[in-house]
Chains A and B, each alone.
Chain A
């Protein structure tokens, strides 16, 4: 189920048949990674951070995400699901987390594990790490895969400020990888561990992990895809659900349950100052400030690019406000008591069981030219070209804004004639072939 090469894997793709070449996605893209060429949108691989802003705005359903299909799990003899706690917020107030987990078993998973306790574990380990490492400040949490990728590409100097503890989904899968083959007597390759998520970028972190040699997860199913099956399983077994109300088998962590909301990751910190930011543009604004040396009096910065946190993920079903309200109820119901033993956390932490395999590294940057003198000349030329553009940011040229067109021109990806407002020396332009693609990125 892992498709694409690790280096270039992306979860977000354009369905060309459905794309009509409008400019919604291009305008929404925060890294200016989309161009419209010959009437179709194209995502530039090296600039895409899989944030799914394009998927959210496309009016023609032409942007899709590659997540794991349930059918592809047949390759495994034993199927394990670890759903994001966001899943608990997708149902009405009468459906309890235990019923959702049991419905997932009926859908076809052999075992299902709750992530809230592991979220609590992660929080306790983060606290310990912050105690042990007084500098640098702020550390930034590594839970949101888009934040990790945007830092590698746009804020490379902040790579060392990512707190090097794996997110709960990987820690949970790693624990299960350690214990299940022994307890089941099955080879590890026959056990499929699947995350259920509202987030397309989880597929990217599974296929090309940024801080692990290999992900402990085998795939990610979107909540949207599996939701109808869960509903069906829930409706069929009301009696069973009643029993599970009476004999809850999983102890949910209130601290961990809140992880699906912005601020949830840091809420459990006892002795550190934390700030939570959500939404892509706000995240970028705050990362700009951190790169400029601000926020050094903050210990931990939690960034999630979806609005309100993971609960605002694009592959959820329930609207995020209702989901958020439901999660808050569950947090309150679960209470404040710890379900994870601090001594266990400490032991795993000191064994480096929770750590990154390797530090986060910046990915290759894309200056105007590798030769500094040439880059300087190109930047000057770009400035001149930009000054002659209409600043309408209309997108007709196929670039999201005039600044990007100027940039594409000096990089050799576009020509000035692409702009319908700039008079050309050669007179009226021909209708096609406006853009020369010297080298396709």
Chain B
């Protein structure tokens, strides 16, 4: 089937604590999606998701693998990190909740937008977290057939 064949895949590593490169992966993903001709709104949603998720890794985890898969119908983003995990996922998904330190807030991060913001911008949102092991996020953003003008 043509759709299955036409999938763009790319993998990106993210290192925890690497604030100097904060946002680099999200930017690369955004540029790629523009090159693939996705609609402005779709690219924006994916950019926000990628940015927030990348920041979560940098702020809390040791490392993560990001998998991007783009087909004409959807953008699939997977963030699989080795880190502390989230003890209470329900709570972390509450708007405004944040465990960011004062230093992180100084840098403009950790406004408690992370996970809820990711969820808001995703069409499909799945989270699987285990304390002491890590967190895996699966996000799908549908393109709804809209392509760029």
Chain A residues at the B interface, C-beta cutoff of 8 Å:
156-157, 288-289, 291-297, 362, 364-365, 367-370, 372-377, 379-380, 383, 407
Q: Does B47 belong to the interface (CB within 8 Å)?
A: yes
Please tell me if B102 contacts chain A, counting CB pairs below 8 Å.
no
Q: Does A364 contact B30, Cβ atoms closer than 8 Å?
A: no
Chain B 108-143, CB within 8 Å of chain A: the 1/0 string?
A: 100101000100000000000000000000000001
Is B32 interfacial (CB 8 A cutoff)?
A: yes
Q: Interface stretch among B6-14, B76-84, B93-101?
A: B6-14
The complex places the Cα of A407 from the Cα of B38 at a distance, in Å, of 17
B82 to chain A, nearest CB (A): 23
Contact (A375, B43) CB under 8 Å given A295-B108, A364-B149, A370-B147? no
Given A291-B47, A294-B51, A372:B36 Cβ within 8 A: yes
Is B148's CB under 8 angstroms from A367's CB? yes
Cross-chain contact A292 with B36 (CB below 8 angstroms): no
Selected A-B contacts with CB under 8 Å, 12 pairs: A157-B41, A157-B43, A157-B44, A292-B27, A293-B48, A296-B113, A365-B149, A367-B34, A367-B147, A370-B37, A372-B37, A372-B147
Taken together as a complex, chains A and B put the C-alpha atoms of A397 and B42 apart, in Å, by: 34
Complex interface: chain A residues within 8 A of B7 (CB): 376
CB contacts between A and B, total, < 8 Å: 89
Find the residue from B7, B37, B70, B113 having the highest chain A CB count within 10 A.
B37
CB of B133 to closest CB in A, whole Å: 27
| Chain B 25-59 per-residue mask, 1 if CB under 8 angstroms from chain A, else 0 | 01100101011111011011001101110000000
In angstroms, Cα B40 to Cα A293, docked, is 14
CB B76 to nearest CB in A, in angstroms, measures: 13
Contacts of A379 in B (CB 8 A): 8, 32, 35-36
Residues of A within 8 A of B16 (CB): none
Contact B30 A291 (CB under 8 A): yes
Contact between chains at B108 and A292 (CB < 8 Å): no
A369, B8: Cα distance in complex, Å:
14
Whether B43 pairs with A373 at a CB distance below 8 angstroms is no
Size category of the B interface is 35 or more
B residues near A370, Cβ cutoff 8 Å: 37, 147
Q: Show the binding face of B for A, using Cβ within 8 Å.
A: 2-3, 5-10, 23, 26-27, 30, 32, 34-38, 40-41, 43-44, 47-48, 50-52, 70-72, 108, 111, 113, 117, 143, 147-149
Q: How far is the CA of A242 from the CA of B67 in the complex (A)?
A: 71
What is the chain A residue whose CB lies nearest that of B24?
A288
Question: Smallest distance from the beta carbon of B126 to chain A beta carbons, Å?
Answer: 21
Contact B23 A288 (CB under 8 A): yes
- Nearest CB on A from B65, distance (A): 17
> What's the nearest-Cβ distance from chain B to residue A160, in Å?
10
Say yes or no: B37 contacts A375, CB within 8 Å.
yes
Residues of B within 8 A of A364 (CB): 149
**Residue from B6, B27, B34, B72 within 8 A of A365 (CB atoms):** B34
Chain A residue nearest to B149 (CB atoms) is: A364
> When chains A and B are docked, how far (Å) is the Cα of A370 from the Cα of B41?
17
Give the CA-CA distance A373 to B71 in the complex, in Å.
7
* Contact assessment for B6 and A292 in the assembled complex, using a CB-CB cutoff below 8 Å: no
* Cα–Cα distance between A295 and B111 once the two chains are bound (Å): 10
Query: What are the 7 tightest A-B residue pairs by CB atom distance, in nearest-first order?
Result: A367-B37, A292-B51, A372-B72, A373-B6, A157-B44, A293-B48, A376-B8
Contacts known (A372-B72, A376-B8); A292 close to B40, Cβ less than 8 A: no
Residue pair A156, B40 in contact (C-beta under 8 Å): yes
Given known contacts A157-B41, A370-B147, A383-B10, A376 and B70 CB-to-CB distance under 8 angstroms: yes
Q: Which of chain A's residues have a CB closer than 8 A to the CB of B10?
A: 383
In the bound assembly, the distance between CA atoms of A174 and B3 in angstroms comes to: 54
* Chain A residues, CB < 8 A from B9: 380
**A373 engages B3 (CB within 8 Å):** yes
Contact B117 A293 (CB under 8 A): yes
Contacts of A293 in B (CB 8 A): 47-48, 51-52, 113, 117
CB pair B48–A375 under 8 Å, yes or no, is no
Query: Which residues on the A side are within 8 Å of B147 (C-beta)?
Result: 367, 370, 372
Q: Which residues of B contact A296 (CB under 8 A)?
A: 111, 113
Known: A292-B26, A368-B37, A372-B147. 14 other contacts (CB 8 A): A288-B30, A289-B51, A291-B30, A291-B47, A294-B108, A296-B111, A296-B113, A367-B34, A368-B36, A369-B37, A370-B37, A372-B37, A373-B3, A375-B37
Q: B18 to nearest A CB, angstroms?
A: 16
Of A297, A374, A376, A379, most buried by chain B (CB within 10 Å of CB) is A376
Q: Give every chain B residue within 8 A of A288 (Cβ-Cβ).
A: 23, 26-27, 30
Chain B min CB distance to A284 (Å) = 10
Contact at B113–A376, with CB atoms within 8 Å?
A: no
B7 smallest CB distance to A (angstroms): 7
Q: Which residues of A contact B35 (CB under 8 A)?
A: 367-368, 375, 379, 407
Would A367 and B36 count as touching, CB distance under 8 A? yes
Which B residues are in CB contact (< 8 Å) with A375? 35-37
